[in-house]
Amino acid sequence: MNFYKRTTVALLGALAITTSCQKDLLDKVNPNQPTVENFWKTATDAQAGVTAAYSALQFPGTYARWIHFATDIRSDEGYSLSPWTDLANSTRFVQLDYDLEPIRVIWEDHYRGVYRCNQILANVPGIQMDATLQKTALAEAHFLRGLYYFNLVTHFGNVPLILDPSTVRSTAPQATIAQGMAQVVSDLQAAITDLPVSNTVGHATKGSAQAILGRVYMQQRKWSEASALFTSIINSGKYALVSNYLDNFTIANENNSESLFEVQFSSVNQGGGQDVAGASEGFERPQFFGPPGIGWTDGRARPWLLDEMSDKTVTGDGDPRRDITVFHYPMLLFGQTYQTRGVPLTDTFWHK
């Protein structure tokens, strides 16, 4: 009997040792997995970080989808009759669910962009690389962080100001609106100082930062400061109005002379833009705002916009911007009449 007891104990001990060894065997760190500690080494790493910071502009909570409901549809220019009642109510500032996706994702995706900018600003200064490229990378991070925080403060007010990648988000205190906007101004001023006058398509320029900062100043009613920035943009000779207003909304004329800064989307693969390899880089506003039969009409244009563009040109023609901006009767809805699509003749929809 004692023999069996000793044998059982020995076997259990061996099993415990074997299990422990097997666990250690599986607890391995992947040496090829990028981490903060081993990533920021070269100029290529710095550029990859900048690309990641720009990619956050394509997220559903930034410019791919939901922010258009928080801006255009919450403004006097738009409204929502979405069958998703919570979404429609949120555009009227009625929100019963604190975790409502269209609002929560705006918050989350902007802070994801902020985090990526903070990584650049904390780590790129330590990389041995071309000084001009380094300065531009840091300026682009300041521009993007300023833009992300401008949207956050505008839509949420007293948001946490996280300026260091090591800050734990859940413990960051709220800042006042004044403090938040002061940080936006600081970031954009830093960007203006070091951004180039011209840059790769899709990247910010000095004019981009001046334009956003001018908008911030206008929101703060600092008219003279805003005017000085806009005058500088005009006098730079880098920008001009296009002769055809429609050129601002066609694929063939993207990033034209009127463009101060454009978020780059792809028309090749439409759909939900997610931050994973192979995901869509499509722009989703047309799907959510398009007229029946084309889109879901979750966001609509108010009819009074037509009245604002009812003046005649010097040749007696109607304002050419009207039909480019708003679908209205008797225009065709992508080749079909209002009646064919069964749409009330008084309905108006976004055309851009």
The DSSP code sequence of 205-231 is: -HHHHHHHHHHHHHHTT-HHHHHHHHH
Tell me the per-residue pLDDT of 290-327, one tens digit each, with 9 for 90 and over: 998 889 999 999 999 999 998 988 899 889 899 999 99
Q: What is the pLDDT of residue 11?
A: 47
CB environment 239-261: b (16+ within 10 A), e (fewer): beeeeeeebbeeeeeeebeebbb
- pTM for this model (two decimals): 0.88
**Which of 53, 30, 29, 60 is closest to 165 using CA atoms?**
53
Count of beta carbons in the 10 Å neighbourhood of residue 76? 8
Question: H/E element holding 300?
Answer: strand 300-301
Three-state SS for 183?
A: helix
How far apart CA 274 and CA 284 sit, in angstroms, is 12
**Which of 173, 142, 147, 145 is closest to 160 using CA atoms?**
173
Dig out the tokens for 40 from the structure. Answer: 């920021």
């563009």: which residue's tokens?
309
Q: Compute, in degrees rounded to 10, the torsion defined by CA atoms 218, 220, 224, 229.
A: -50
Give the residue range(s) of CATH 1.25.40.390 domains in the chain.
Answer: 39-289
For every one of its 352 residues, what pLDDT tens digit does the chain have, with 9 covering 90 and above? 554 445 454 544 554 555 555 556 666 677 766 676 668 999 999 999 999 999 999 999 999 999 999 999 999 999 999 999 999 999 999 998 989 999 999 999 999 999 999 999 999 999 999 999 999 999 999 999 999 999 999 999 999 999 999 876 677 899 999 999 999 999 999 999 999 999 999 999 999 999 999 999 999 999 999 999 999 999 999 999 999 999 999 999 999 999 999 999 987 655 555 565 555 678 899 999 999 888 999 999 999 999 999 898 889 988 989 999 999 999 998 889 999 989 999 999 999 8
Q: What is the pLDDT of residue 145?
A: 99
**Which of 159, 156, 54, 157 is closest to 112 using CA atoms?**
54
What is the CATH number assigned to the segment(s) 39-289?
A: 1.25.40.390
263 contacts 255 by C-beta, under 8 angstroms: no
Tell me the per-residue pLDDT of 113-161, one tens digit each, with 9 for 90 and over: 999 999 999 999 999 999 999 999 999 999 999 999 999 999 999 999 9
308 contacts 317 by C-beta, under 8 angstroms: no
Q: Name the β-bridge partners of 318.
A: 312
How would you classify the pairing of strands 349-350 and 78-79? Answer: unpaired
